[in-house]
Structure 1
């Protein structure tokens, strides 16, 4: 069963789960808290009795890792902070929709630790919170006077130093006291543990200062449960039990991922699984050799039999999990963010004070501006922008000066397409708070959509002046500068994308390539995350990179690999998890190449086609990918039929995204142009849409496509491709094919503002909406052009 997330920011977060998982949650009366530092999220995994499935609810955190739960207390360790929450059930009763939530965790305290690389955490019986301080290689606690208070470190660590000498990571409590820890090495030098990750892991007894086990593969998450010590041997993808007297361990089960994060209830263990990313950290461990494909999710295991009972698997957006913690007797919890207006009207008082408190009724609370504000923010997070607008309007009707309501209304209006009213709101908010960076940033994005590039650039600059480290504003400025042709400053600013937390950055001890000649070395070029478009667009730089090095490796997804493999200059294609740090000398993102080569509009590599289609034909079954050879059947019309490929949406399920996707009911007007055979390249799971296509002069060839190389072979047979910004239009461009690109009111940096052409694909024609959001006017222009 599938479970898409409604989180409107960042990449799509999709998951699937076994059909029995909701019933497991229901019978046990539980929910889960899961942290993923890779995605920057804390995930509440809950059984939704109304929808009848598993609901994954995401909250943004900066590098969340360790999670500690004790009673109504919830602690989360982050990049340089520890957040403490308390469950206040009375607040849960006021969340929308009423009666659904049975727990609500309110932020109560934040402690700044500095960057100590917090791993596991646990509350002791005296209510002190213990942290695994990985950076300094010690266990520590917190107090109001210090960043942290060191309590214990392995005897082989000679000094406290921020050097991650042994990668201390896991903590097991016994009778409410710290007792066992795991580390990835018994080493006392800076990052010394990295040299023997495959078998250098240890388990230690804190009480005796003795090593209980050696020879483990990246062990994590020790736990004392049912009188036994359990450990995740992550490098093996397994759960083991430990005999602490004999110093031996026994495997209970092996699972299809890097095991990390575990909690127990009855005979069941809930275990976190992670994909292994690139292998600068994970190279050489057994799981890389044993499993070609590793999975991310939470697996439910019977610890008595070793049988897998069910799982939740993340299909996109989440690739690594750190901590998994059960919330007992809590079926549908929520967490309030630090700026949630509901915090302003939520109070927890001592029992003796409650008798003197007079609180408004539920009906009165429901009509207060704060309630509508909270409801509006929640609707916005869920992507229900029309309802969010209605809530924010109601806030301002009741209290015109309510903080943030005007700004929030402006942002929500922009999402509904009401751009001019959105502009009025944002300018009104700016008049009240002229130094607030995020208002200037929102205005910059809005001006860009309104096709006012000068105002957009000016507003982005003002946002940066007021908050120089606002990475998102730098990236917005970069896009606007590049669209305006200012490549020198634009590509400098574009490097800020690496600091947004929304880009998959290769973590490697090897140096980043600076563009200089490295005649004897191997360069690793990687595609950031899943942005296939950029991988295809910028693959044109491969020959230039290859001319400066001895060998060029490309790291990319499996579906993109066959296409990039035929780019002249590629020595070898590697997949995430299949490359060792020893395989290359320097690395760089493909998105950084225009900056390294000082690209200007005049110096963009233009060797078209730069995909070797003839080599691709030799490697693929071209007969299976042949397009129907249609010509006019009537003797009165012997002219050959033109072959035109079409893509109206960048991905399945994105039809409702009016910024990029053209609604099908508007796009289908192009199919009325005579003399053309259209070919649908858009993945379609909608049976009603499939039925509609069957009645139109459209051949659905999408089912032939297994990877992007197949897509290229299909496009090569066409006379023209017409589509929104998606991998298909970039493949057409790379092949030197005529391509018409349909622009929404938000577009990428390589499509110039107010232009019908782009220097990146000279054979491309850009179609702009007559007015922002006017897809009908754009399609009328496309129809006229096709007719001609």
Structure 2
């Protein structure tokens, strides 16, 4: 039996808890926490007080303390919906997406008709790259509550990543109808319109988004990227400065400008260049680092150590340091992807002298010995980063490579470090040489790949870092692109102002990779026959 004293303690604790709720409701958070603490002092195993205290700790930035309070509340009451929901929200805010999804999934199981829990679970699944699951959960949330604007926005984004553009457009349109001043909805509509090649409509949507929220970084970045795609470089670089969201911005934007026609704008300047994107961007824009150094700037590059050996072949006199080390006194600290803006780059002023990187002679000889024969030698790269935030649709279905594997007199080499046993269809796998474990497995990125490229007649690649490496080495390279590709490849043209030895091979409307690779195979066949005659 429970004693009267125990009942009195519990009643006192609950009374203190209710007083804390009142203070919390009226915005007096410090006073509220005092009551919750008093309630917990009287009754330490009090899930509701722990959850409310956790919420206040979360609201005041004490995240680890809040997680501890939520965790204890859940230990005491495993089916406590509010504690699971609140902890999921905090884990999501801290970008601990798997933990957030687990908490929201438990909350959904407890309350299947709670649209908010399903919406949050869908958001966590989307941010974690589980796109199909996210779509399913967000649609279920909206079936319960069609007025959830955030759910529509996340649904539109997930559908867009999956290539379901028409459905994405409908989701963003519903969000705009629910909230006519929703800048994010108009930005999403702009992204879909751009993907479909509707550039005027895309620009109008971005402008509409910015009319409602002039500081919306996604809209500024998307508009800038579209301007670059259309060749409007001067305006485009400004918008491109918003390519980061706040949590990913490594350094503030720099106003420093350099002028090749006036070397004094570079000579003697102490410049810290910070790597800010993928390795393809590093290779593409390192030409500007070399330009700074060659014109007398004292350049320090904060970049990935694995790229030092390759980039050193440029001959640029550059000091290296860790990617995240921004310390020291500099005249300018600038992201490497911001250097085109700093040089006021337009199409005709792109510094496109290639090669500006080179393969090491000893490695060229080593890999030459592993590539015997006199046939037409083609290096293949068919996939890039598998991070869902990168456009996965840039990668090529391995089945589309079949026409190349069937070409007589053509030797194919995989420019991938890792090729899964079942990744390539058998008919394709038989025709492609995979170099295996020794290929670029050391601490230095791309040095073996560069040497292999020096022994190839042609590189055929999707839009990934391999394309930039081949271009920077001055090797013949064909890049297989979606019909509407990323901004740096511009529109319709078959050449690139960034890389003179590059040919752009574009899919038709609908991005039919199979048809594109049939065309590529036909063109390679002609080159192979010409080499055989020579």
Q: TM-score range by the shorter chain?
A: 0.7 to 0.9
Q: How far, CA to CA, are the matches of 1:545 and 1:519 in structure 2?
A: 6
Q: Which runs of 5+ in 1 are unaligned?
A: 1-69, 96-100, 109-317, 319-331, 346-361, 632-639
Corresponding position: 1:643 with 2:377: yes
Matching residue within 688, 691, 696 for 2:430: 696
**Alignment correspondent of 2:474:** 736
The SS at the match of 1:410 is helix
Matching residue within 749, 755, 771 for 2:493: 755
**Alignment correspondent of 2:521:** 783
Q: Using the TM superposition, name which of 745-754 and 408-417 deviates more.
A: 745-754
Larger strand share, 1 or 2: 1
**Alignment correspondent of 2:311:** 564
Distance 1:750 1:334, change over 3 A: closer
Matching residue within 400, 412, 418 for 1:678: 412
Misfit runs of 4+, over 6 Å: 75-80, 340-343, 577-580, 652-657
Corresponding position: 1:385 with 2:131: yes
How far apart are residue 500 of structure 1 and its match? 3.4
Residues 364, 454 of structure 2: 8 Å contact kept: no
How far apart are residue 671 of structure 1 and its match? 1.6
**Alignment correspondent of 1:449:** 195
Matching residue within 598, 617, 629 for 2:344: 598
How far apart are residue 375 of structure 1 and its match? 4.2
**Alignment correspondent of 2:508:** 770
How far apart are residue 622 of structure 1 and its match? 3.6
Q: Deviations over 1:356-409 (max 9, x none)?
A: xxxxxx88x424544543443343234332233333333444554454444443
What count of residue pairs does the alignment treat as equivalent? Answer: 458
Matching residue within 615, 621, 625 for 2:367: 625
Mapping 1:223-622, distance limit 5 Å: 334=100, 365-367=111-113, 369-370=115-116, 372-497=118-243, 500-505=246-251, 513-515=256-258, 517=264, 521=268, 523-529=270-276, 531-568=278-315, 570-576=316-322, 586-613=332-359, 616-617=360-361, 620-622=362-364
Q: Deviations over 1:615-644 (max 9, x none)?
A: x32xx444323254443xxxxxxxx41111
**Alignment correspondent of 2:87:** 105
Residues 669, 779 of structure 1: 8 Å contact kept: yes
Q: How far, CA to CA, are the matches of 1:579 and 1:549 in structure 2?
A: 23
The SS at the match of 2:156 is helix
Residues 107, 336 of structure 1: 8 Å contact kept: no
Residues 642, 675 of structure 1: 8 Å contact kept: yes
How far apart are residue 419 of structure 1 and its match? 1.2
Q: How far, CA to CA, are the matches of 2:323 and 2:130 in structure 1?
A: 38
RMSD of equivalent CA atoms: 4.2
**Alignment correspondent of 1:713:** 451
Q: Which runs of 5+ in 2 are unaligned?
A: 1-48, 527-534
The SS at the match of 2:422 is helix
How far apart are residue 708 of structure 1 and its match? 2.2
Q: Deviations over 1:555-612 (max 9, x none)?
A: 32222111211214x1134131798956865433222221122111111112122224
**Alignment correspondent of 1:7:** none
**TM-score, structure 1 normalization:** 0.51
Residues 102, 333 of structure 1: 8 Å contact kept: no
Residues 471, 501 of structure 2: 8 Å contact kept: yes
How far apart are residue 457 of structure 1 and its match? 2.3
Q: How far, CA to CA, are the matches of 1:656 and 1:547 in structure 2?
A: 33
Matching residue within 443, 448, 461 for 1:723: 461
